[in-house]
Amino acid sequence: MKMGFVGLGNVGSKLAGSLLRNGFDLTVFDLNADLVQSFVAKGAKSATSPAELMKHCDVVITCLPSPQACAAVVEEMLPQIDDTKVWMEMSTTDAAELQRLAGLVSERSGAVIECPVSGGCHRADTGNISIFAGCDRETFERMLPILTTLGRRVLHTGALGTASTLKVMTNYLATANLLTCCEALVTMKAAGIDLNTTYEAMKISSGTSFVHETESQVILNGTRDISFTMDLVKKDIGLFQKLADELKVPLEISPLMIDIFDDGIAKYGDRELSPNIIRRLEDATGLDVTAPGFPQEMVDDEPEAKGYEVIPTGLNKSKFAS
């Protein structure tokens, strides 16, 4: 099977790397020629456009920073789509826009699967990231060998749109975790509590989270580098708020989170690393929230292993067979 990949950014480059490392016939495209050449040097082929990529590949994956970027790529690929082609969307995107684009692909008899990822760049790099997959069961089972190469835990979420909806929900939760970790760390620093001890107290307690065990480390080491930026956080939590508004759910915490990131972007720039949202509190208090002994970058400590389908608690596989 010939694979194409559009979007070699922080996450996309790691996912594409998993395909290349596992022997897939891979062709790549990105607006950044240097990123493309780095993959060509490792054995991938390159395309001059998304349309050329779709023409020569069986499956094309997109992993792009915004719904607008994805729409531009898919609309360019459309003339090359027929019943032999599959579009895999791995971006964090708007469910309604995904369904609109999927409709255009389906009109040309192409198959569509949305499969956003969760777990951080360090897990995308090892093929151990989690994947949500929204599509019909037949397409899911057809693409499962690819999904279990790209990720460790693969959850079939249901029809198209469900995976994107769940993904923006999980990114909302991750952002809420990040903000509370920032407030906890700064407050403990102000209280004179050792930050290494604080980290461990949080980690072994009911207050721990995946975000704490990863992002708190890059906050404390001072790099603040989780390969994710404030503008992307604002996009993701904005998509969640948009969904809640459409459903008339009166959220209270979500609007405050958006205000906090609006302020962070105004102060530090939209491409500032997202954990540096803690600078708002550091600047306000004059405190330096760093500590010795934390790694300079997150590295996945799980060995790479073949992925598998996750069956939702209380359900069985036949539930999704329709």
**Domains of the chain, each with CATH number or no CATH:** 2-164+302-320 (3.40.50.720), 166-285 (1.10.1040.10)
pLDDT band at 319 (very low <50, low <70, confident <90, very high): low
By the 10 Å C-beta count (0-12 exposed, 13-18 middle, 19+ buried), 210 is classed as: middle
Kindly report, residue by residue over 247-275, the tens digit of the pLDDT: 999 999 999 999 999 999 999 999 999 99
Alpha helices in 207-271 (DSSP H): 210-220, 230-246, 253-268
CA torsion 32-35-39-44 (nearest 10°) is -10
Residues 146-153 have a mean pLDDT of 97
Percent of residues in the chain assigned helix, strand, coil, to nearest 5:
50, 15, 35
pLDDT higher than threshold 80 for residue 81? yes
Pairing relationship of beta strands 308-310 and 25-29 according to DSSP bridges:
unpaired
What is the pLDDT at residue 306?
Answer: 87
pLDDT band at 305 (very low <50, low <70, confident <90, very high): confident
pLDDT higher than threshold 80 for residue 316? no
Cα distances (angstroms) measured from residue 222 to each of 98, 216, 288, 293: 37, 10, 9, 11
Distance CA 145, CA 142 (A): 7
What is the pLDDT at residue 88?
Answer: 98
pLDDT band at 302 (very low <50, low <70, confident <90, very high): confident
**257 touches 176 (CB < 8 A):** yes
pLDDT band at 297 (very low <50, low <70, confident <90, very high): confident
| Mean pLDDT of the residues in the chain | 95
pLDDT higher than threshold 50 for residue 322? no
- Which tops the pLDDT comparison, 45 or 299? 45
Radius of gyration of the chain (CA): 20
What is the pLDDT at residue 318?
Answer: 57
pLDDT higher than threshold 90 for residue 69? yes
Beta bridge partners of 2: 25
Kindly report, residue by residue over 203-226, the tens digit of the pLDDT: 999 999 999 999 999 999 999 999
Residues 129-146 have a mean pLDDT of 97
pLDDT higher than threshold 50 for residue 63? yes
Distance CA 212, CA 219 (A): 10
pLDDT band at 317 (very low <50, low <70, confident <90, very high): low
Fill in the DSSP letter of residue 153.
Answer: E
Kindly report, residue by residue over 83-125, the tens digit of the pLDDT: 999 999 999 888 999 999 999 999 999 999 999 999 998 999 9
Kindly report, residue by residue over 4-26, the tens digit of the pLDDT: 999 999 999 999 999 999 999 99
